Structure 1
């Protein structure tokens, strides 16, 4: 019972972490995850302001907030939505524990979402670290991660931990299901302890039932009919009809 409870607790913990990771990715659907501003160092005026979404949307504004570009990526948005919906469905099936292939569906969907989020976060961090201060040109480039980007970064870490725990829980569940129902040589319950049926076999050393009825035939000879010496104790048996001597 303790092993079953620990296994269920591990399954619930991994599923809860996976669900938290999926929810943390949702704000990146409608909010930018990265922001970059370019300003004139000498005059302090903002030359351009750029926002980037993790699914590929880029919005650029120029002087005085004039919008210069707003480019969408519908395919990237559709892929992220599909991964979020499938990941949420996989987590629900994983937590329900009523579908035999639920652990496989949960691992696959959460794994795909984790790979997508990790790729996006790694690319964003790499670009942020690669930005340098354009001091020679008299420009100041400032890049920062938005609140949605921070949540997405946390989601990547949470999803990785959840995926590892889900893999461990699935391995334990598979190992338990492959164990034999009973060990070889172990009698089944209720059969070995019951013993032989009554009337079929008796204890060792006793004579079989009905053996006392089988005796040697008695002959009516002179010694047995004379009565001297124990003829009365000998039981008479029926013989063939015939003449008496």
Structure 2
């Protein structure tokens, strides 16, 4: 990993990014659903449904949902009968997820505080690995991808849902205005936290474009790497297999 990494539009040392990202998510944890609604105009719910449909979890499979603290993806996977472990580096996010699970009467989910770059799970522990709107906040993305590969069994699959860069002419300009100007302002009004929302938008701008991220997944060892753009690439689903 390089000596500096991106934190929004800033370049900071890795330890500083990890600390500051933690502060962002501690700040927004209680309003995470509102945050996602603001950043996606409410469409994140549809995208997550599609994401889990493509994952195609099956009864008895072991699935690791990384950076899944609030449970949005895990709740959807759990309906399939798969065994779901929800992992997140941020205890505040996990607390929100566990409260939401209790409200739904869900007792089968396993909750773990984990760093995506250095997972505590043994090799070949899971049939599937998911991460939704979390990979861009990881300090060392290549390390996290290698860990994902390590903990998957042979035949296991990796699925990532993340904001990206749209290639649709015209739409990109409208999206830039919405995200750069309006989202932080709405975040200030609704969540009293413009800075966290501003970082989250800036982090999208610094995230690798779809082909570049696909190459990173391949470099971690995954095969049959694909990506599926949504809204021309404003959001993308990347996938790969351990074979």
TM superposition score category, shorter chain reference: under 0.3
Higher RCO structure (Cα 8 Å, ≥6 apart) = 1
Max radius of gyration: which structure?
1
Quick check: which one's strand share is greater?
A: 2
TM-score (norm 2): 0.26
